[in-house]
Amino acid sequence: MCGMGPMIRTASLRGFAPLVRELGGDPAAFLAGFHLPADAPDSDDGLIGITEHDLMLDAAAVDLGCRDLGLRLAGSRDLTILGPLALAIESSPTVADAVQCASRFMFVHSPALTVGLEPDPRGARGVVALTYRKDLPESPYSPQAMELGLGLFHHVADQMMDGITGLRSVEFPHQPLSPIRRYTDFFGVDVRFGAPTAALRIERRVLDARFAGADDTIREVALDYLARHYPEPTSRVAVRVRRALAESPGLRTPSPAHVARLFSLHPRTLQRRPAAEGTSFEATLDSVRRDAAHRLITTTDLPLSRVAALLGFTEQSTPGPRGAPLARRQSPPAQIVALRQVFPGCASHPCRHDADQLPVRHRRPSDPQIRRRPRRVAARGPAPGRARGRSGVQGALQGPGARSAR
């Protein structure tokens, strides 16, 4: 098991290793690069971190030059990837019943993924949206994983219905990764990008279509098995605590007492119940910080010191004594040391924003290889750039991350 964030069944790696080898890559190297077990693709029922899983897909697509990696994986799979949930879905009498079942128990495959039935985002009469979402506060958005998930959604529906009729269009939140023709060939309809939610837009009448393999007895047995062996995540205190921590602004370290008040629980109860579920408040907080650190380090231009501040760490270092060695004065501040203790991967991640790899505009004047330029004072009027409110090193150090944060 990798990490303590949201997990996904290892069945989601089905077909990954053969495809990578076909493209001339080494699947073991990708797995090791994202700290996933080497034998993860060999079993359907193991659990791995969904963040690592998704980032590996994105990295493999880039490194192997395969922009349609997610769609290729989706086209090679079937409903059995969902394990015990598959039996309940395929024995459902109608499309509406199958969607309801998938919506209720999708957490069995991964608690970070949801499917649902919603009104048409474009407001067309007689049209509804079958949506596919990833819980972004829990794990960062992945274009390849989204194309894999929605592509599989479509592929399974097409298999169960012997061809989807009434499909109006397919929508993705991201911009196209492959030529548009690749998407229209896969889905058979118009594909749109930059949408609020990933969805298959279908005619409402499709929901009443009946499946040839419907079996009420098998469905009842399957649903009973799922209900008894897979309690809904929202019933677990640890899951509720994790969600509350993930949605907190992170400007200060949340205390157990503060979170307990959100759920109308006594602080001792908040400590006792997660312990009974095999975790603790502190472990959950560390897990949330690790995932947030990974997301900020790999998807933003923020330096480590700002990431540490956003995660609730406080600066506790003090200036070194006069005459202290330069190396001591330039040692990482306490914020970054604390961040590396919680998320050690940021010290070696290829996208890390540390002082020795940051562009000059993101380094602080105290960082190595940075020298202050002599201040030029004009004979009359303010110094150049002063009218804009910041100039020189100060303005450069703010960087694009600071400007977007305002």
User: Based on the number of CB atoms within 10 Å of its own CB, is 244 exposed (0-12), middle (13-18) or buried (19 or more)?
Assistant: middle
Note the pLDDT of residue 355. 37
* Residue of 91 and 366 predicted with greater confidence: 91
**Under 8 Å between Cβ of 148 and 74:** yes
Q: Enter the DSSP assignment of 197.
A: S
Listed residue (12, 58, 109) closest to 295, CA to CA: 58
Quick one: pLDDT band at residue 101, thresholds 50, 70, 90? very high
d(CA 92, CA 87): 9
Mean pLDDT in residue range 90-97:
94
Mean pLDDT in residue range 75-100:
93
* Residue of 272 and 77 predicted with greater confidence: 77
List, in order, residues 6 or more apart from 403 with CB less than 8 Å away. Answer: none
Note the pLDDT of residue 394. 38
Percent of the chain with pLDDT over 70: 66
Note the pLDDT of residue 184. 97
Mean pLDDT in residue range 6-29:
95
List, in order, residues 6 or more apart from 253 with CB less than 8 Å away. Answer: 285, 312, 313
Note the pLDDT of residue 12. 95
Listed residue (141, 155, 157, 159) closest to 72, CA to CA: 155
Over 80: is that where the pLDDT of 25 sits? yes
Quick one: pLDDT band at residue 299, thresholds 50, 70, 90? low
- DSSP H or E stretch at residue 272: helix 267-276
Residues 149-181: tens digit of each pLDDT: 999 999 998 888 878 889 999 999 999 999 999
Residues 177-229: tens digit of each pLDDT: 999 999 999 999 999 999 999 999 999 999 999 988 899 999 999 999 999 88
Mean pLDDT in residue range 137-159:
90
* Residue of 64 and 213 predicted with greater confidence: 64
Note the pLDDT of residue 390. 41
Over 90: is that where the pLDDT of 288 sits? no
Mean pLDDT in residue range 225-246:
71
Note the pLDDT of residue 326. 31
Quick one: pLDDT band at residue 389, thresholds 50, 70, 90? very low
**Under 8 Å between Cβ of 6 and 110:** yes
Quick one: pLDDT band at residue 295, thresholds 50, 70, 90? low
User: What pTM was computed for the model?
Assistant: 0.63
Note the pLDDT of residue 252. 57
Note the pLDDT of residue 305. 79
d(CA 116, CA 102): 8
